Structure 1
């Protein structure tokens, strides 16, 4: 069978600046695929091309074996999209939002009703179906957006930062919905996220930076090949930080903290013997996807979250999660 998503030698630019540089990858049907990268890495541009919202400069991209440039309408029929920023009409009820989406996709009246009932039940919003979306919490809105994206029974689902601004319980609930869909409907899911722990169970993880794919593989393979044990410390003063940076060239600065790769226990013991009394905080990090990302890019993914995301999280907390 053809791949669910196939990208070959894709290039894209804005105002003469290359945003995607010879990007190629393939996603099998039914797979969970995580696209990780800092802000400005090219993730949004790549997803926009795959969703037929913009054209590439060069290269090809196929969705369910439909070319996104030559057959955009056919490609759109097979995908559902949950954007990072809400696109619901908050003047309408939950049911009316789903009804409108069904009309856009040409679903017959009986099928629209059945699909709306099914997806509302999936995301546990049946009892709020007639409530105006404006009254919904951030978590309820995100669940409704997932329901709307599934109305026309797509085979591929794009999730752009699907759980940003949500509390841990709501985030877990959303991922349980998606995992159930993958099992029951063989749905292919492509996710971009700043919460790396959410994609530890993904089938494939792709790290992109400066418009290029750095590495791709299963989480286990990436951790085995690129993961490192790291020592994270917070020096008591800048003089100590400067001294450590000079002594250990591989140190990474993460705000006020420093991260050092730890090749063996002897290195850690020697470091702590010298600096323990001059440190405010000490913690070890075993190989994770976060450490893979840090090793390959020199920075932590979540530290790149911008002020807008922080504001969204705060708004989500103030609004509460039902």
Structure 2
């Protein structure tokens, strides 16, 4: 891919995480609507991939369209759908499944031919757990009872937090951790960073030639790496520059951008030399065990270029002092 081409031109499809990438709670991320409209007008296949299992896909579509983000029902794939498909791979048709989540999750369980139940007293063959903003301790207790009696345990996703327009709040992983700490069992997980959700998305979209756009390194980027998919990491959600610089090999994005509109710009590429790295004229160097920037740009795109150069050196040697990243004050 040349630096003059748009990043997205190397792919048939662009797949988006939602929370923190396309919207933050009820509000659209600035530029998301315009960016996705431009992608679709240019012929790029678009998919929305969410670890959030609490809402039915049609509700997600309605939310997106209310924000002027173009979306149709086949475009949306949720961890509830991927989790329900996992059930079919492990259980006999018609098996009873205790649903510890929302009605949306129960509907997906029913759609694949399983019988949703609401109590461990119904002797379920499995438990499937997903995020529910109205979760109660008695329901978590009941999940523990079922798993301790031998039910297989599935989870839609394990995100520890959710980004909102007001800040971070506990996610599904916080609820699941309460059960896991009790039963000492690890669930089979559908959502990112595990592979079932992205595999289900590629199956539905009919292509593996896709780039994934996410705001979390531990779910979005790590999930893309796990299925061999390129990724664009954006700074509009949960993780930021310090997380990027410290990222291990299993959660390193292909490139970065402030928001999803980076897909419509030339790919941000860094070249690495002996003791230095350069991106679009901005250079980072190793000096006495620390990474130093030749200069700190006064614009956000320039600072992102400098960050990408700095990051290459940090990844090559995790023992380097990378406190220089704090000087990039336009990058969160």
Q: Tell me if both proteins adopt one fold, taking TM over 0.5 as the criterion.
A: no
After TM superposition, the score normalised by the length of structure 1 is 0.34
Give the greater-gyration-radius structure (CA). 1
